[in-house]
Amino acid sequence: MQFNDAIRSSLRGLRQNKIRTTLTMLGIIIGVSSVILIMSIGRSAERYIIDQVQSFGSNLISVNPGAPTKGAPAIAQGIVIKTLVQRDVDSLEREPSIVSVAARVSGQSRFSYGNTSKSVVWHAMPPNVFSMFNIELSRGQYYTEADSQAYNKVIILGQELANDLFGNADPIGRSVRVKDFNFRVVGIMKPKGAGIFSFDESAILPLTVGQKQLLGIDYYQEIHAEIDPVYDASFVKSRITSILRQNHRITDPSKDDFMVASMEEALSIIQNVTSALTVFLSAIAAISLVVGGIGIMNIMLVSVVERTREIGLRKALGATEADILRQFLVESVILTSIGGAIGITAGAFFTIATYFGVTYIAKFAWPLQFPLSAVIIAVTVSVLTGLVFGVYPARQAARKNPIDALRYE
Amino acid sequence: MIELEHLGKVYRENGGELSTVALTDVTFSIQKGEFVAIMGPSGSGKSTLLHILDFLDRPTSGAYRFMGRDTSTLTDIELAHLRNKEMGFVFQAFNLLSRASVHENVELPLMYAPIPQFRRQELVERAVRAVGLEEKIQSPAANLSGGQKQRVAIARALVNDPSIIFADEPTGNLDSKSGGQIMEILQGLNDAGRTIILVTHETYTARYAGRLIALRDGGVERDEPITDRNKGNGLFK
């Protein structure tokens, strides 16, 4: 029997039992579309995080106060640690492997304009963070080092915060009340969309003003350092560690009162986590493929019994065991392949639906990813499912005794 | 064309404890172009003999030579190819794929023969024309009458241009008019030079044959020519 005859016979058989064929394929369709959807979401999430980190600057190292712990960092537990000070910033600025250093303090205060007021998270940082964190303005201008030195009450607002406070009015040049001070709005940041490194709903102001006047403290909550690209991140990390140990007079490394982390490291950890999660979820989705495969085997066994006389007839007319085996195998592979193709289409549809949902409803800058590898895996798995779960029924068919088969009622 | 020598068939069950003798010491030969009717009561061994003759079963003793070849030396695959190339089959229950069209049914044996697609169309049309069903060629087999179904089965038996046609009770499920038409077609095929082996229990259909082999209790009871169909011989009374 020629291969195209086997395909033709199989398609005819499947067409004749449309409802059964559809129900049988459903398991494969659900399995394949889930695998595609999960792999696409996994890839999108990974891409999203990488984009976010890269837009923030992947060549950054951050120093946080508190001993390195396996649990939550000290600041997250509400513990105030005052060990990061200007001396540390000065020392790091002298380190040749570091291009620039920026200290940061943050707080949460009520911002008011006219009758509108809102609780806002603000960050006080020197002007070099604008290039360090790729912060771009849609309107107005950045504040300068001179503003910081002069304790000028100037502020840059996130796009959404500006909309919330000022509505349709132009915020530039207007004053926002923060605690007992009036801050003049000098710039509005370009929106970045919702995300882990988004400033859309927060404000940035000069370091000195935030540290000395809003918080009244003389330490920093974090120091950011931009690596000279000539150097390796782990080398710079070790340099920073030794400089800070020297400044803090630490001789025993287990007594460090600071933590140094590079974005690169964070990125690779996040990538590992998302990859592992994707593999894990895909494996769960693959279980439905196995269930679908068992469904295929079940239906093929029923089909073999139902078509006993046909098998007998074909053998009488000259079909060999190999011919019968091939015909039933082709049928189950066609069944799973069509199921796979529909599953891929459904998976693509749900991936696009997810993209629109996350982009336009949740307003995340979600990248649309449809990995080719997912399609290749889906096609391979579909065909293999048909082959593996079709072999047993096909062998049952091929081994039928033609005389008994012809007499079968 | 067919030579049987002391052919026997014993069915063994329960690991050989129980045995049933289906055929014993069957010896005859059939020449090319003969029309042979095999008759006999139930249990006489007709079906067993037919299945051995058409290679669906093998004898347990004796020899069977088909076109000069000892069939005991042939593999199952060789027998399947021989069946496809040299034999045509007409069954009592028609054995058509009911949801497939007449064309698809008639094409079935060609699927197992090395015949290119473009030749098949021509062969199928010729076979369907030979049984006078060209107008029904695209109809599903299920929509045909019993007589038409059996004509489709004959077209299917003819399509590979076999040298021998086995007809197993071909009129058993038909009314006498349709049965007569089927027998006329078989007669025509025999007149054109094809060997026909007809298994039947109806004396009416056996009259079309030129030779009668009567079986009883697994052996050949009589083997004689049918010289005068209208008068018949002992079996036709």
The residue type of B34 is E
A310/B contact by beta carbon, under 8 A: yes
A212 band by pLDDT with thresholds 50, 70 and 90: very high
Q: Which residue has the tokens 């069915």?
A: B11
Give backbone dihedrals phi and psi of A140, rounded to 5 degrees, phi first: 75, -155
Contact B83 A9 (CB under 8 A): no
Give backbone dihedrals phi and psi of A170, rounded to 5 degrees, phi first: -80, 115
Contact B95 A406 (CB under 8 A): yes
Three-class secondary structure of residue B32 per DSSP:
coil
CA distance, residue A318 to nearest chain B CA (Å):
4
How far is it, in rounded angstroms, from Cα A34 to Cα A384? Answer: 17
Task: Tokens for A122, please give them.
Answer: 């603000």
Q: Which residues of B touch A406 (CB under 8 A)?
A: 91, 95
The pLDDT profile of chain B, 237 residues, written as one tens digit per residue, is 899 999 999 988 877 778 888 999 999 999 999 999 999 988 899 989 999 999 999 999 999 999 999 999 999 999 999 999 999 999 888 899 888 899 999 999 999 988 888 889 999 999 999 888 889 999 999 999 988 998 899 999 989 889 999 999 998 888 888 888 889 989 998 999 999 999 998 888 888 999 999 999 999 999 988 876 444 455 544
Q: Which residues of A touch B54 (CB under 8 A)?
A: 316
DSSP string, A361-376: IS-B-PPP---HHHHH
How far is it, in rounded angstroms, from Cα A396 to Cα A400? Answer: 7
Q: What is the pLDDT of residue A11?
A: 85
Domain boundaries, chain B: 2-231
Q: Which residues of A touch B100 (CB under 8 A)?
A: 12
Domain boundaries, chain A: 3-54+268-407, 82-256
Is residue B46 classed exposed, middle or buried when 0-12, 13-18 and 19+ CB atoms within 10 A define those classes? buried
A238/B contact by beta carbon, under 8 A: no
How far is it, in rounded angstroms, from Cα A111 to Cα A122? Answer: 10
B135/A contact by beta carbon, under 8 A: no
Q: Is the pLDDT of residue A213 over 50?
A: yes
What does each C-alpha distance from A122 to A171, A203, A217 come to in angstroms?
17, 5, 15
Q: Which residues of A touch B89 (CB under 8 A)?
A: 316-317
For A309, nearest residue in chain B (alpha carbons): B95
Angle at alpha carbon of residue A10, lines to A4 and A12, rounded to 5°? 105
Q: Which residue has the tokens 């197993």?
A: B168
Strand pairing category for A154-157 and A258-262: unpaired
> Helix (H) and strand (E) counts for chain B?
7, 10
Return the number of other C-beta atoms located less than 10 Å from residue A308's C-beta: 17
Tally of residues, chain A: 409
A155 band by pLDDT with thresholds 50, 70 and 90: very high
Contact B80 A9 (CB under 8 A): no
Return the number of other C-beta atoms located less than 10 Å from residue A402's C-beta: 23
Nearest to B80 among A4, A312, A318 (CB): A318
> What average pLDDT does the structure give for chain A?
87
Q: Is the pLDDT of residue A53 over 80?
A: no
A100-154 per-position pLDDT tens digit: 999 999 999 999 998 899 999 999 999 999 988 888 899 999 999 999 999 999 9
C-beta of residue A395 within 8 angstroms of C-beta of residue A305: no
Percent of chain A scored above 70 by pLDDT?
A: 95
B1/A contact by beta carbon, under 8 A: no
Q: What is the pLDDT of residue B123?
A: 93
How far is it, in rounded angstroms, from Cα B90 to Cα B99? Answer: 19
Task: Tokens for A100, please give them.
Answer: 């620039």
DSSP label of B109: G
Q: Which residue has the tokens 């639906």?
A: A353
CA distance, residue B167 to nearest chain A CA (Å):
13
* Interface with A, mutate which of B112, B118, B119, B156 (most A CBs under 10 A): B112
Q: Which residues of A touch B113 (CB under 8 A)?
A: 318
What CATH topology corresponds to B2-231? Answer: Rossmann fold (3.40.50)
Cα B115 to the chain's mean position, in Å?
23
